[in-house]
Amino acid sequence: MFRRLLPWLRSFFIGSSIKKNIKTSHVVIIGFMLLPPLVSAAMSLYNTITYDMLITNVNKTNRLNQIVKTEISNELWDIVAGNKSFVQGNQYGIIKDINDRLGDIMSTTTATENRQLLEVADRAMGTLERYVDRLGFQMGMSYPVIENEQILDEIRGVSLLVSEILQDFIVLEIESSAAANEEIKRRTFIVGFIELAVIGTVTAFSIFVQMSVASNIERSIGSLVSLSSSIAEGDLNARAEVPRVKELNTLTENLNTMAGKIKGLIETNIEEQRNLQKSEMKALQAQIIPHFLYNTLDSIIWLAEGNQYAQVVAITRAFSNFLRISLNLGNEYLRVASEFQHVENYLTIQKIRYRDILDYSVEYEREMADKIILKLLLQPLVENALYHGIKNKRGKGTITTRGWLESGQICFSVEDNGIGIRPGDLERIRGQLREPPNVESGNSVYGLYNVNKRLELYYNRRDLLEIKSVYTEGTKVTVKIPEVYKEGE
């Protein structure tokens, strides 16, 4: 049966979100685990009630038997012997008590044969009551004592008959108790077997869910790693298949879109503005660094293998938004709020990777949220602060990204408390901002040069980027651009 369920389970988990799969599997597991205790509790309650009813009937019948054997006969003997009159006697009260007790026992008796015995005893009590009525009539008519004693003997005989019937009933109830005990044992064995089966099923289901989710994530991310490798190698015709994990759908679509957009930008820029194309392609390459793609996707795989699904969702969502803003539907300009969101997405990813050494804060004046600027200005500066400032100092560091309006200018700053720059190196870096750095040599000026060059090209001004640094204390990069573009232009 479980093998027949496997295809259905696979189809259920494929294509669904990680969050939904985990939630559904938890609900199923909890439901299965609650089933055995509920069944066991219900069975125990039923067994207790049944067994208690049988024992209670035996006790009630035994007490009733003592009343039938002694009290009715003794009471009528006192009347016949003249110790009390028929009217003064409590014979009818005793008979009513016996009938009431008999009815109570009959109401809790379920076995057919046992009920039939009680019905015979009830009819016998009717006969006994008629004999008592006849005795009362004879005594009222002053019949001879010998005739009254004959009626008393009949009453004793009926009492004895009722007592024997009650005794037989007790024996049957005891036998029913023994049968109930055997039934309880059988039910207990069945419930135990069911509990073992449920535990085995839940264990198998849990293993299947874990393997299914991990396999889907690993397969999907493997496809994305392959796509990113192809893009890094220059194959912009490569595309990734839509994954079987919902959280990765947007990421895959964005990567596919990114590859198409990059290809289109290359072809368009080659034809229209060859010089500007070189600068823009360097800007895109600075944002879509293969190592960043590799490291991010490797982090996702590592988190998924560690069952840290909440962080998988967080880093995947941040990476997806990072790519979406990087592409920006092909537009070169965006709102300040989107630029800061792009930085936050980048820092969210890096915070998960470097949580032991990185803290950050992002703040800007809300009045500048809808201002329009050239895209992808801040992230390269933040990346430079992380890799050349924070990572080169001991202990945890902080990157602070700010934005404000000042005298008709849109201002930004990226500040870190990292290792800083030696005075001689700072002057060298300021000089290198004018000349293209050697990318193959891994020159740390590349990100700063890229931002500075794009500022010059798009705003037609120099000296928009300023670097200040104190060695061992930190570095601050400030960008001030004119407020010349408005939303819609």
Is the pLDDT reported for residue 422 higher than 80?
Answer: yes
Name the CATH code of domain 357-489 (choices 1.10.10.10, 3.80.10.10, 2.60.120.260, 3.30.565.10): 3.30.565.10
Cα within 13 Å of Cα(27), Cβ side: 6
Q: For residue 411, list its beta bridge partners.
A: 404, 480
Query: pLDDT (tens digit, 9 = 90+) per residue, 268-303?
Result: 655 555 455 445 545 544 555 566 777 788 888 888
Let me know the angle formed at the C-alpha of 172 by 168 and 174, rounded to the nearest 5 degrees: 115
The token pair that represents 361 in the structure block: 């804060």
For 196-200, what is the mean pLDDT?
78
Long-range CB pairs of 89-92, under 8 A, 24+ apart, other chains included? 91/132, 92/129, 92/132
The pLDDT mean for the chain works out to 79
For 43-68, what is the mean pLDDT?
77
Check residue 21 and give its pLDDT: 65
In which element (H, E) is residue 481 found?
strand 474-482
Query: pLDDT (tens digit, 9 = 90+) per residue, 348-381?
Result: 999 988 888 899 999 999 999 999 998 889 999 9
**Residue with structure tokens 């259905």?**
8
Lowest mean pLDDT among 148-152, 335-339, 346-350, 474-478: 148-152
Check residue 312 and give its pLDDT: 85
Cα R_g (the chain), whole angstroms: 47
d(CA 250, CA 319): 10
Confidence class of residue 8 from pLDDT cuts 50, 70 and 90?
Answer: very low
**Residue with structure tokens 């009254």?**
148
For 241-252, what is the mean pLDDT?
66
SS3 403: strand
Nearest to 212 by CA among 395, 15, 50, 455: 15
Residue 25 makes CB contacts below 8 A (sequence gap 6+) with 205, 206, 209
Check residue 7 and give its pLDDT: 55
Is the pLDDT reported for residue 88 higher than 80?
Answer: yes
Assign domain 2-205 to a CATH class. mainly alpha
Query: pLDDT (tens digit, 9 = 90+) per residue, 440-477?
Result: 544 557 778 888 888 888 888 888 899 999 998 999 99
Beta strands at 409-416 and 465-470: parallel, antiparallel or unpaired: unpaired
Check residue 275 and give its pLDDT: 53
The token pair that represents 295 in the structure block: 């490291």
For 373-393, what is the mean pLDDT?
90
Nearest to 298 by CA among 260, 232, 352: 352
Task: For the chain, give the percent of residues with pLDDT over 70.
Answer: 76
Nearest to 204 by CA among 430, 412, 28: 28
Domain borders along the chain are 2-205, 357-489
SS3 412: strand
The answer to whether the CB of 315 falls within 8 A of the CB of 306 is no
The token pair that represents 19 in the structure block: 């969050």
Check residue 280 and give its pLDDT: 54
Q: Do the domains 2-205 and 357-489 sit in the same CATH topology, yes or no?
A: no
The answer to whether the CB of 231 falls within 8 A of the CB of 238 is yes
For 335-357, what is the mean pLDDT?
91
Asked whether the whole model's pTM tops 0.75, one would answer: no
d(CA 131, CA 65): 19
Check residue 2 and give its pLDDT: 45
For 145-164, what is the mean pLDDT?
85
